[in-house]
Chain A
Amino acid sequence: MRDVSIIGVGAHATGRFTDKAIKHLAYTAIWDAIGDAGVQLRDIQVGYVGNSLGGLLTGQEGVRGQVVMQHSGISGIPIVNVENACASAATALRGAWLEVASGAVDVAIAVGVEKMYVGDTARTIGALSAVSEIDLSQMGMQFTTSYAIHPKINLKEKMSKYGWTIADFAKPAVKNSFNGSMNPLAQHRRPLTIEEVVQSRVVVDPLTLYMCASISDGAAAAILCASDVAARFSSKKSIRVASCVLRSGLYRMPDDDRPDSATIAANVAYEAAGVGPTDIQAIELHDAMAPAELMLYEWLGLCGPGEGPKLIDDKITTLDGRQPVNPSGGLCSRGHPVGATGLLQVAELVWQMRGEAGPRQIEPVPKLAMAQNQGGLLLGQDSAVYAITILKS
């Protein structure tokens, strides 16, 4: 396999854009990435387009990738449609990475796009539920529920076992809202306090409104290139893909004592990149509900069992900490247009690693960064998709 670099990224802001279809959202991200990379349209040899809900929400069940790309002027080349729930964009990135790493092409584009505001919240919630195994969604299962009582998370158990409080669950949302307040692309830019998060209305006990990522429109794109020819296009700092790992969830019985599937994916990624969890200097992770960030600290190997809130209290994962997490604002503040999220994470890390992140820039500029993205829920208890990308400069 060849070394692969990300030479350009772009993103459309997240939020509510009632006048835009998925192709309009993607256009901004695609052309920002092309401009950033310094490539010409004719240089792009293959495209992977991640989108999750467009079939149900826009009616465009098939060929969304070709629709989106043709609107941006990209046609003729192979275009692959990727649906992998909330990890669609990370999966698209992996497809593009494999194309370049294998030597099949020199330059590839990965795009993630989602349009969730369609003027009918119940329809959006219904579509979101349908990216879990349908037997669960037909029973009224929602992602919010899974993030409260899912066997791996089970927040009430964490309260009794670790002494975690509702205020602890709010801490990632408060930290990330501060980061997001400095991100011009972010959907929610008001810094929140612990009190505001705790006192916002209960959605699924014990999760409150401000602990939950909201409905969002958005898009992101990345241009990948064989590292040995990257200098031909771009004079910017080359960001190498050190590892790009995709796994699916396991079927778990109640006595299952295997590690969390995020841990399994991360360990594969750490080994492939030749690094350990505490080496990582910037992390974007999948905090679809704020307390999940506390669990992910454990699962990614950043701390021991129950120590999640301490990483925020001790300012390890804050923007000025040793391992800043979700400098973009994460899913709750930056936004979670589900099929775009994995590439929004990667775009943020590329900006951070180039020192281009403006007022939310991590200092010193990180040289090793990681994105963690996951999605879907299966009857076998795990999420459906787990993705980890490690970047080196």
Chain B
Amino acid sequence: MSDVTIGQRGRLYSHTIAHVAPAGFKAPFFQAFVDIAEGPRVFALIGAQCPVESGVLEDGMEMRLVIEPLADTPENRNTLTYKYVPVRAVAGGDGRHA
């Protein structure tokens, strides 16, 4: 048995902006499916560097993995998870938490 690293890169399959959020999350926030390079399609959140606005993401974009807190909330601030951000620079992104 040996460890294999997957999911470093992928392609955005679909995305939306959710204007309601379950407990522990802040609306609005992006939700997406990403086809990772190794094959599977995974549900994923989008990294905080992307401003939550329509037009920022485009289905089919190349994405890369980031490891971030699940959400900027007291419940989830200390839980790390996988998220994706576009490989190319995001228009309008200022790096702040959205």
Residues of A within 8 A of B (CB): 122-123, 125-126, 129, 136-142, 144-145, 148-151, 154, 156-157, 201-206, 252-254, 379, 381
Contacts and interface: CB of A to CB of B under 8 A. Distances in A.
20 contacts: A122-B22, A123-B23, A125-B22, A136-B43, A139-B70, A140-B25, A140-B31, A140-B71, A144-B20, A148-B16, A149-B15, A149-B16, A149-B32, A151-B41, A204-B19, A205-B16, A205-B17, A205-B54, A253-B40, A253-B41
Contacts of A253: 39-41
Interface of B: 13-25, 29, 31-33, 35, 39-41, 43-45, 54, 59, 70-71, 81
Contacts, number: 85
B37 to A, nearest CB: 11
B10 to A, nearest CB: 10
Contacts of B17: 204-205
Contacts of A142: 18, 20, 22
Contacts of A203: 18-20
A157 B41 contact: no
Nearest to A153: B14
Nearest to A212: B20
A317 B58 CA distance: 35
A157 B19 contact: no
A253 B41 CA distance: 7
Contacts of A149: 14-16, 31-33
Contact of B18 (A138, A145, A154, A252): A145
B43 A141 contact: yes
A145 B15 CA distance: 9
B54 A140 contact: no
Contacts of A140: 18, 21-22, 24-25, 29, 31, 45, 70-71
